[in-house]
Amino acid sequence: MKYLISYDITDDKLRTQISKYLEEFATRLQFSLFICDVDRARAKAIWTRLVQMAATDEERGLVLMTPLCKTCEKGMRIKGNPLESEQKFLVV
């Protein structure tokens, strides 16, 4: 299943750590928005790790991970170019 992952982290060092972690398995769409295709067990592990990392940002530490069902994925529209050129979906 595909997941959208976004974050709003105020601490520069932590934000960099989270983005580098996500770059290991996800495609960056925007500076703080990624998409990945993983099974449920992997998604749970990713979520657990992100929550642990974000908890260290005392001021804000917001992380969002949203599953995309097949219908939602087919309806997804993007205008412009993602930051990473390797796309596995239709850009309209």
CA–CA separation, 83 and 89 (whole Å):
14
Give me the pLDDT at residue 91, please: 47
State the architecture of 2-72 in CATH terms. Answer: 2-Layer Sandwich (3.30)
Q: Give the pairing type, strands 62-68 and 2-8.
A: antiparallel
Structure tokens at 5: 């992952």
The whole-chain average pLDDT of the chain stands at: 86
- pLDDT band at 5, cuts 50/70/90? very high
CA–CA separation, 45 and 50 (whole Å):
9
CA–CA separation, 57 and 64 (whole Å):
15
CA 80 to chain centre: 18
Question: Coil, strand, or helix at residue 82?
Answer: coil
- pLDDT band at 77, cuts 50/70/90? confident
CA–CA separation, 87 and 76 (whole Å):
13
Domain boundaries, the chain: 2-72
Instruction: Give this prediction's pTM.
Output: 0.81
